[in-house]
Chains A and B, each alone.
Chain A
Amino acid sequence: MDNNQRKLLSGPVYIDTKPNHLFSAEVAQKSHVDFNLCYHCRCCGNGCPFVEMMDFPPNSIIRLVQLGLKKEALGSSTIWICAGCHTCSMQCPMAIDMAAIMDSLRQISLEEKAKIGEPDVLAFHKEVLNSIERYGRTSKLDIMLRYKIKTRNLFSDFNVGLKMITKRKLNLIPSIIKGIEKFKELFKGKRNW
């Protein structure tokens, strides 16, 4: 648990930025989720397998959005750490689609070029999408190599990679779809990430 979380659990948090009252409406419209149903029972955070890596637990993200604290919500690590496993939505008594809220917040933070809470996660997503654009399918080896080079961390996981190659679990030659030129058009004008 890091400081932010400890603060949240121990009592009121004071964040001194100017609230943006349109933010909550923007997130609601984009995600199609009525997060004002949330009564902050914290079931989502209690079940979340990743909550220890997050700076705010999931329901606090809803609270930040409700309060219009845009900078805090968009800059949090939570929105990038969330893997969309839907454990929170399964436990939520109000069936709030937390993963959809996180998706919208990530998209807004990219559109508005906000500070990215977890640059490595974004770097990974970028490599996955680049691989899809290049081949129409993902190639794990391609993604991992490029990701490791981008994050200047080439030799971590060297053993894991080697093991996977010897077990023939990584294809050395990526499989490419036939209509790749037409397929690439899906990515046109999509470079805000």
Chain B
Amino acid sequence: MPNKANIDVSYFPGCSMGASGNESNASLLSFCKNIGFNLIELKDWSCCGSSSAHSVDAELAFNLATRNLAIAPSTRPLLIACPNCLLRLRQAYIKLKNDKEYLEKYEKKWGKRFEPNLEIWHFFELIDNVDFNLEKFRKLNNIKFVSYYGCMLNRPPDMRYEKNYYGFMERILSTAGGIPVRWSYASRCCGTFLAAVRPEAVTEMVNKIMKGAIDVGAECIVTACMMCHMNLEIRCTIKRPIPIFHLSELLSFMSGSPITHSSMSKHIIDPMPLLRAKGLIR
């Protein structure tokens, strides 16, 4: 077992985690518990604005994002699980740090001072910040995987000085005996909301991604984004698709929690045959 960290962290799940990504939410919570992070859900958090608010109204988008920054206690870091929520909140945060105009708007709107000491963490950063012994993790029995980052590591130019996490999932999972396979679609966007509006076009894109993974000989796809996971699962029409895991599901297993039938049954593409073949589940 890894060394325990015992750190309190505020947790912003985001709308997807409660619904379509609830298996990811459960595994993230159990993983964090295993490595000693105490996640405290942000009280009365609200939607970050998603892809829609900034499309139609800049002020509304800013207010939706900053409402969550305003209610987050500055005494502990804020963990954001969803890459899109992270982007929205962090972009607002950077604006507040660098632009007095936005700062005034924020203070007028929420009637409190902006806390520049509030740390915002992505799930990757949380793992990266802990010094735990990966070699002590449970092994993944040579499962061959491709890491699918989608657009989560793409950033707008004003965030270009932030740390880059390409290769992060490969590094972690390979230390636990997974075999990373190189492929061409690691950072191809999954189509986000276009999956609802233009299903035919997104199906074509998703099939390309799935086929790309099968063609390089991967046995599963690993992703850290709930939206990517959902789009890949519901829009893929290829006959024998390979299962898609949330990164947190594998991490939760590696750090000591069992893989349960009830959580795996939430996958639309059934991962059970693969898990059985690899001896990861009985």
Contacts and interface: CB of A to CB of B under 8 A. Distances in A.
B191 A132 contact: no
Interface string A44-55: 000001101100
21 contacts: A50-B194, A53-B198, A83-B51, A83-B189, A86-B155, A95-B157, A96-B157, A107-B55, A107-B57, A124-B52, A129-B52, A129-B60, A132-B52, A136-B46, A136-B47, A168-B266, A169-B19, A170-B19, A170-B20, A177-B45, A192-B57
Interface of B: 15, 18-20, 22, 44-47, 49-60, 63-64, 67, 150-151, 154-158, 160, 187-189, 191-194, 196-199, 201, 205, 230, 234, 265-268
A140 interface: yes
A183 B64 CA distance: 9
Contacts of A97: 156-158
Nearest to A100: B156
Given A138-B15, A163-B268, A132 B47 contact: yes
B212 to A, nearest CB: 13
Nearest to A179: B44
Contacts, number: 156
B60 to A, nearest CB: 6
A193 B55 CA distance: 10
Interface in A19-60: 30, 49-50, 52-53
A2 B55 CA distance: 25
Contacts of B53: 129, 132
Given A124-B197, A138-B47, A167-B266, A190 B20 contact: no
